[in-house]
Amino acid sequence: MADLPTGFWSGWIIVLTVVSLAALLWLTISIYFAADANKKVDPESEPVWDNDLREGSNAPPLWWFWMLLSTLVFSLIYLMLFPGLGSYPGLLNWSQGSRVADSYENFEQNFAEARAEIVATSLAGIQNDLDLMQTAERIYKRECSACHGPDARGQASLFPNLVDVEWQWGSSAEQIEQTIRGGRNANMLAWQAILGDENINQVADYIIQLGDSVSESHAGKLVYDQNCVACHGADGSGNILLGAPSLIDDIWLYGGDLKTVKASIAAGRNGIMPAFAQRLDDAQIKLLVAMLAR
């Protein structure tokens, strides 16, 4: 009832309403039951205007009285039951807020079962259920497509492709669930100040060839071995615990041309996947995992 008037104004509204109702009641009764209300007017002494216009002495029909009385009674009952008299909440305690709370509770009850069912279903079971997968796609479209693109193939060399074979943070259902729930913060520092142009050129050239056949004596190998192995691995296959991507496949988060690779190394990269644990419930997250884990 926070938006209803309180204190003085509430009292003032109550007084005004009650006094008005009482005045209306008095007016109605006085019109019908005043001592002289039904007295016949003596036609002799009756004033006549404009030649033939007489005041007459016809009382208003009685059903008007009952109608007026019943609207007054209705007002009184209404004001007793529902909010309307100042901040008095009414005997029924009705409010829009409690109506919303009621329907929210109904909603929770109706869907709690469906959700519990989804949570209890195996991933394969969900993947084989066309309806559930469509639901998953709707959730994906609403929550994820702005970044990862409508078809989940990534976007703008900033948001990773989710349907390729490379998983920066792991491809198992558990790892994907963890990614969605908790989010991920990738952290690669900027190497420009540490390595300088020459070393960056060499290591960039080296990692682009990594995975194909690159000479053991490539000048970039030394730079790589000294600075990059800890995260990207001795063979360049990456480390899902750190979100360090594989550098030996042809899949690049930010782009695999020499210029972009050099930019990644020089300025560092800090991709952030937001956490969805607060925003989505268990069933929704499970549906998304089923959609992405293949």
CB of 230 to ligand HEC, least distance (A): 5
Q: Of 162, 139, 112, 142, whose CA–CA distance to 273 is shortest?
A: 162
Give the residue closest to ligand HEC by C-beta.
271
CB of 245 to ligand HEC, least distance (A): 4
Cα 207 from Cα 163, distance rounded (Å): 24
Q: Which is nearer to ligand HEC, 60 or 274 (CB)?
A: 274
5-9: Cβ within 8 A, 24+ apart? 5/86, 5/87, 6/87, 9/86
Do 166 and 158 meet the contact criterion of CB atoms below 8 Å apart? no
Which span sits near ligand HEC by CB under 6 A: 63-71, 73-81, 89-97, 264-272?
A: 264-272
CB of 133 to ligand HEC, least distance (A): 14
CB of 136 to ligand HEC, least distance (A): 10
CB of 122 to ligand HEC, least distance (A): 19
Cα 248 from Cα 238, distance rounded (Å): 9
Q: Of 114, 126, 115, 120, whose CA–CA distance to 289 is shortest?
A: 126
Is the dihedral angle over the CA atoms 84, 85, 88, 91 positive or is it negative? negative
Using the rule CB under 6 A, which residue among 236, 243, 248, 287 binds ligand HEC?
A: 243
CB of 10 to ligand HEC, least distance (A): 47
Residues 63-122 that bind ligand HEC (CB under 6 A): none
Q: Of 122, 119, 165, 109, whose CA–CA distance to 285 is shortest?
A: 119
Residues 139-198 that bind ligand HEC (CB under 6 A): 143-144, 146-148, 159-160, 162, 167-169, 176, 179-180, 184, 186-188, 191
Q: Which is nearer to ligand HEC, 79 or 169 (CB)?
A: 169
Q: Which is nearer to ligand HEC, 79 or 162 (CB)?
A: 162
Which span sits near ligand HEC by CB under 6 A: 66-74, 113-121, 130-138, 239-247?
A: 239-247
Using the rule CB under 6 A, which residue among 69, 123, 242, 275 binds ligand HEC?
A: 242
First to last CA, the chain: 52
Q: Which is nearer to ligand HEC, 87 or 187 (CB)?
A: 187
Residues touching ligand HEC, count (CB under 6 A): 45
Q: Which two tokens stand for residue 114?
A: 């469906």
> Which residues are within 8 A (CB) of 54 and not within 5 positions of it... i.e. 6 or more apart?
46, 47, 48
Q: Which two tokens stand for residue 288?
A: 């998304």
Using the rule CB under 6 A, which residue among 81, 91, 165, 230 binds ligand HEC?
A: 230
Cα 276 from Cα 259, distance rounded (Å): 34
* Rounded-to-10 torsion of CA 84, 89, 93, 95: 60
Judged by CB under 6 A, does residue 261 bind ligand HEC? Answer: yes
Cα 55 from Cα 43, distance rounded (Å): 10
Q: Which is nearer to ligand HEC, 132 or 203 (CB)?
A: 203
Q: Which residues bind ligand HEC (CB under 6 A)?
A: 143-144, 146-148, 159-160, 162, 167-169, 176, 179-180, 184, 186-188, 191, 203, 207, 227-228, 230-232, 242-245, 252-254, 261, 264-265, 269-274, 276, 288, 292
